[in-house]
Structure 1
Amino acid sequence: MKRTSLTTAVIAGIAGVAGISNMASAVYLNNDGLGQVLIYPYYTVNAGNTTLLTVVNTTAQGKAVKVRFLEAYDSREVLDFNLYLSPHDVWTAGVVPVGGGAGVWTNDNSCTVPTVPSGGAANAYPFQTSAFDGGVTATDGGPTDVSRTLEGYVELIEMGTVTNATNNSLKAITHGSNGIPANCAQVYGAWNGGYWVPSGAADIASPTGGLFGSGAIINVSQGTIAGYNADAIDQFYLAGTTFHTAPGSLTPSIASATSTTSYVFAPSPVSSIPTLVTTTYALGVDAVSSLFMADSLYNEYWTSGGTAASSEWVVTFPTKRFYVDPTIVTGPVIADPPFDVVFSSRNGGTSCSPIGINSYDREEKSPGGTINFSPVKVYGNALCYEAQVVTFNQGTGASKVLGSNLTANINPGANNGWVQIDLYSKAATQHILPASYTVGSSNVFRGLPATGFWVANLVNGNVGGVLSNYSALFRHKLHRTCANTAGSACS
């Protein structure tokens, strides 16, 4: 990465041992679901699926929010726009097939700039290819056609709260008694030669958080829906910061955190008791990565029975692009830790990180021999994309549930059980956030920055005249480890 030294802000201390809600000026992953940044780990329109997204503003303030859809290979942007939420507002949108790719539409009245089409899926705005086909950004060695947009993930980033200070912007975006904002044309015009062109700070105050969101993968023909909560990152910005940019701007991104100190609960390599680890980084992206660092992912799988059960795991690396994208990193082959190689054509349009797999059935037995992805690849077991799907007992081809083509299959030797994906030990010197990224700290988090979930479908078909298909979704369980450079517990 083109790492430059940044001025490090003075970070306030912890107000009480467990007083997370009172901790000032440090970014953290809010397990209660509210934040300034929301990460939706996966969208798909493959295999008859569509994806529904919602975001809720729980506060009495208006919100300016950057909405960004990212494709799954290398997290190149496929659509970006600004969303303006009135107090206590909800915005909803659907990601649907459009041509050979995906697109978005909404029947929601909240203001967006540009305007997101309404009127049904047939009017959806198509996701764009210019960030990976060479039109705007240099190609990265991955596919250049619109099919690359069929699956990916989403980030929503608060840019500031909307006020009436000079131009009555909050009044313009606030819904009236008819459920329609008073004047979306005003905020559209503010970016079209109006008052936000010279300065996006007009009528914008500091972000305050309080956003939460959800995603749901819906298959109408099968009669299934699997929903998840978005990951919530809070205190992304230092107090007094605003980051209100024009629609289409690549900033703010998840790397734009001005709060470069992170708080993470993690045990040491020699203890199972987690401690609150405080680490200041030179770059905001490393602070955010530390929130997601895990040395192991755990979850279950079901693949047996008369219900024709199928199980798939989504594994997403929400900050990976800032360590592997060839337009960001300086080296032509080796990526910046915690990842391994640059995403490029010389690597087959992938960026693979080796992982380990441990599998157990429901009677605590582990099959003999080595558990491998199939088909066996020359680089061994690895996760090669920014968002991918791990399947179980499925073989090759698109996955059965999510329809993903970015897959790795595990044949665990049993129909049902649980699996550990080891994100650290197969590349222990590379899969770390090194102390060199920090400011005055020896803390080293192990593994890779990951999120995701397990989705299961149980398909009975028509039972007694009733469509009897079911789906379920469960977030991954993560194990974290932090050791200082001497191998002792972090602080």
Structure 2
Amino acid sequence: MRKNLIAMSVATLVAGLGLAGGASAAVFADNGVATTTPTNATAETVQNGGIGHQLIIPYYNVQGGNATLFNIVNTDLVNGKAVKIRFRGASNSDDVFDFQLYLSPGDMWATTLTKAADGTATLATVDKSCTIPNTINGTPFVTARLPSFLTAAQKAQQTREGYIEIFNMADIPPTTPNADGSSSATANPLYTAIKHVNGTPPGCSSAAINALATDPATLAAAYADGFRSPSTGLFANFTIINVPKSGAETGEAVSIAATVGVNGANGRGNIVFFPQVAGGATTPDSFTADPALRTVAGGATGVQNGSGGAYAGGTVPIIAASQFDLPDLSTPYLLLAAYPPVAADPINQAEALTRSLAVMNVINEFITDPVIAANTDWVFSLPTRRYSVALDYRPATAAGVTNAQRAFTKFINRDYFDSTNSPVALSSTTGMPQICVTTQSTVFYDREEGTFVGSSFVISPNPPAPQFALCGETNVLTFNSPFGASVLGAEISSANTTVPNNVTVGWAQVNTPGLTTGAAPNVGGNGLPILGKAYVTARNNAVQAGFTTNFGGSWEHRYQRPLVP
């Protein structure tokens, strides 16, 4: 059946579906008695492309005629997957859309993001795989978590760019687990519901799916729902296509694999299923490092002000966490010393993942040769910054959201963002306050060994500055072009740089040292957690008389890592 739609990640919409919430779910280690399914992963391995337990699509865009197409593939030919998908806005990682997807073995799910009539991003799919809610097609993205002082048009604009988080919450095996963790010979009702028969899953509205509105408060209840520990098997690809411009840019999701042992073999994580309901998430501090959702100010694991003190910009939590807010990239996924998790566990998870992503610099090519009308954009995505710092939008005006409204989660061993390197800037083009981080110098190289140090970028929305400021969670840097003349047409967080000496083709290195704990940014720092690509377009008028041919390409960034990983 075609899934036609309604929405998701805000309480009013989810409650409207009749999925009432209760106590928060927990994070469970799978016993795996007499099976090969026990939770055993002790580390996370990040790789561009690849197959993993979790995925990050670093950028989506539906601005200026763009649409973003992406596919998620389950390469596991035995188990289904309970998958959480969350879209986060480019400014400050605000949740603008989330839902659950149930993939059967060998399944592939496809969707298209476009701009809706009201200006928000929207999702369209005719794919038959089960989702919760089971009607998501054509639903505008949600603006409830964006600042109240923005106009409706400004809120809609904030949904049109960002990045995507994808999590395997649990495996769904063919047979139901017994309460002791052993495998039974009884068919798993959830597996039967989501497993395609003649191209269509038979049970997207079945009792097995409806039961997932109830919190599995114990491991035995999670087994009864049909869940086992999450294994690897997911990958995703995406394409940003612009039909009016006859252009397309492609990319691959970055995979995060939960691994075990010195050889980094794929392992199994914790069961991290949380119902897609509006009910309050109890003890969210045990399940997320997001400082906007944590409930205690000050202390080693509490919400801080970025300088070692307790957050004083308002009461906490800044946002009362709902169950649909979980899991996220900081939810404890690896084997813990003790269960249930405690407040330090999601912080440790977020720090370990941030450390895996941290880079000292970003290196790639640029082509802006006017003979072929070439243009180049670089995307910088910081997908774990939200687990270090978040903005409090509760002041009544944009001008009221200042540095004092930054809420921080302090990592235990290393800091990447604090009050010294994460100022707030107000965008003059979108009206949105954004957290920024200042990089170090940028060095440009032409094709003949010429070297030029950039010293005065033109930053949008900020004035010229000695360093390139990454404002927003997902930033687009355009080379040698006026504002608006970029490959991707970014509007939310964009910058322009003119390469010295009129160099149009070459390569560049943006240095991003981040922090040394307790000190200002310097070349001995910890780096910054950055993902992204270079996107290039060109045009050839000589292919055939009277015709113009457009070309496009993309290259993954190259990085140098901190000396101490």
| TM-score, length of structure 1 as denominator length | 0.77
Residue 437 (structure 2) aligns with: 353
Query: SS in structure 1 opposite 2:211?
Result: helix
Aligned AA (1:250): D
User: Is the CA contact (8 Å cut-off) linking 1:281 and 1:287 kept in structure 2?
Assistant: no
User: Is the CA contact (8 Å cut-off) linking 1:140 and 1:325 kept in structure 2?
Assistant: no
Which of 409, 415, 419 matches 2:508? 419
Q: Greater CA deviation, 46-55 or 234-243?
A: 234-243
Residue 205 (structure 2) aligns with: 185
Q: What is the CA distance between 1:195 and its match in structure 2? A: 8.5
User: Is the CA contact (8 Å cut-off) linking 1:290 and 1:445 kept in structure 2?
Assistant: no
- Partners of 2:425 and 2:123 lie apart in 1 by 29
Which of 160, 165, 169 matches 2:190? 169
Residue 129 (structure 1) aligns with: 143
Q: How do 1:195-210 and structure 2 match up within 5 A?
A: 201=223, 202-210=225-233
Which of 63, 88, 92 matches 1:70? 88
Query: SS in structure 2 opposite 1:283?
Result: helix
**Structure 1 residues 156, 133: closer, same or farther in 2, change over 3 A?**
same
- Partners of 2:435 and 2:516 lie apart in 1 by 14
Residue 255 (structure 1) aligns with: 330
- Partners of 2:66 and 2:115 lie apart in 1 by 9
User: Is the CA contact (8 Å cut-off) linking 2:382 and 2:473 kept in structure 1?
Assistant: yes
Aligned-residue sequence identity (percent) comes to: 29
CA RMSD of aligned residues (A): 3.4
- Partners of 2:382 and 2:86 lie apart in 1 by 15
Aligned AA (1:459): R
Query: SS in structure 1 opposite 2:64?
Result: helix
Deviation digits for residues 258-317 of structure 1, max 9, x if unmatched? Answer: 3389xxxxxxxxxxxxxxxxxx99610011101110000000111114321110001000
Q: How do 1:305-384 and structure 2 match up within 5 A?
A: 305-326=370-391, 332-333=405-406, 337-341=415-419, 349-355=433-439, 356-367=441-452, 370-374=455-459, 377=463, 380=466, 381-384=468-471
**Structure 1 residues 478, 368: closer, same or farther in 2, change over 3 A?**
closer
Deviation digits for residues 92-146 of structure 1, max 9, x if unmatched? Answer: 111100121211111211111112545xxxxx21111011235xxxx89999621
- Partners of 2:331 and 2:155 lie apart in 1 by 29
Establish whether residue 287 from structure 1 lines up as the match of residue 352 from structure 2.
Answer: yes
Aligned AA (1:217): I
Q: What is the CA distance between 1:239 and its match in structure 2? A: 4.4
Displacement over 4 Å in runs of 4+: 139-144, 194-201, 236-240, 330-336, 340-348, 425-428
- Partners of 1:221 and 1:303 lie apart in 2 by 21
Which of 232, 246, 252 matches 2:255? 232
Q: What is the CA distance between 1:226 and its match in structure 2? A: 1.3
Which of 228, 233, 236 matches 1:213? 236
**Structure 1 residues 182, 369: closer, same or farther in 2, change over 3 A?**
closer
Which of 272, 275, 280 matches 1:246? 275
Q: How do 1:450-465 and structure 2 match up within 5 A?
A: 450-460=530-540, 463-465=544-546
Query: SS in structure 2 opposite 1:65?
Result: strand
Q: How do 1:44-193 and structure 2 match up within 5 A?
A: 44-59=61-76, 60-98=78-116, 99-118=118-137, 124-134=138-148, 145-163=155-173, 164-165=175-176, 168-177=189-198, 179-186=199-206, 187-192=208-213
Number of residue pairs aligned between Structure 1 and Structure 2: 422
User: Is the CA contact (8 Å cut-off) linking 1:190 and 1:197 kept in structure 2?
Assistant: no
User: Is the CA contact (8 Å cut-off) linking 1:72 and 1:152 kept in structure 2?
Assistant: yes
- Partners of 2:457 and 2:128 lie apart in 1 by 49
Residue 264 (structure 1) aligns with: none
Residue 183 (structure 2) aligns with: none
User: Is the CA contact (8 Å cut-off) linking 1:45 and 1:151 kept in structure 2?
Assistant: yes
- Partners of 2:275 and 2:347 lie apart in 1 by 26
Residue 297 (structure 1) aligns with: 362
- Partners of 1:105 and 1:468 lie apart in 2 by 29
User: Is the CA contact (8 Å cut-off) linking 1:141 and 1:344 kept in structure 2?
Assistant: no
- Partners of 2:561 and 2:152 lie apart in 1 by 31
**Structure 1 residues 309, 345: closer, same or farther in 2, change over 3 A?**
closer
**Structure 1 residues 109, 63: closer, same or farther in 2, change over 3 A?**
same
Q: What is the CA distance between 1:345 and its match in structure 2? A: 7.0
- Partners of 1:412 and 1:142 lie apart in 2 by 37
- Partners of 1:322 and 1:240 lie apart in 2 by 20
User: Is the CA contact (8 Å cut-off) linking 1:81 and 1:113 kept in structure 2?
Assistant: yes
| TM-score, length of structure 2 as denominator length | 0.68
- Partners of 2:527 and 2:153 lie apart in 1 by 28
- Partners of 1:46 and 1:87 lie apart in 2 by 34
**Structure 1 residues 350, 379: closer, same or farther in 2, change over 3 A?**
farther
**Structure 1 residues 32, 130: closer, same or farther in 2, change over 3 A?**
closer
Deviation digits for residues 59-86 of structure 1, max 9, x if unmatched? Answer: 0210000000011000000001000000
- Partners of 2:465 and 2:329 lie apart in 1 by 30
Aligned AA (2:550): N
Residue 486 (structure 2) aligns with: 400
Q: What is the CA distance between 1:478 and its match in structure 2? A: 0.8
Q: What is the CA distance between 1:333 and its match in structure 2? A: 4.9
Aligned AA (1:61): N
User: Is the CA contact (8 Å cut-off) linking 2:363 and 2:557 kept in structure 1?
Assistant: yes
- Partners of 2:366 and 2:425 lie apart in 1 by 33
Q: What is the CA distance between 1:425 and its match in structure 2? A: 7.0
- Partners of 1:236 and 1:107 lie apart in 2 by 34
- Partners of 2:545 and 2:418 lie apart in 1 by 53
Q: Which runs of 5+ in 1 are unaligned?
A: 1-8, 10-22, 119-123, 262-279, 433-443, 484-489
Q: What is the CA distance between 1:162 and its match in structure 2? A: 1.2
- Partners of 2:350 and 2:211 lie apart in 1 by 30
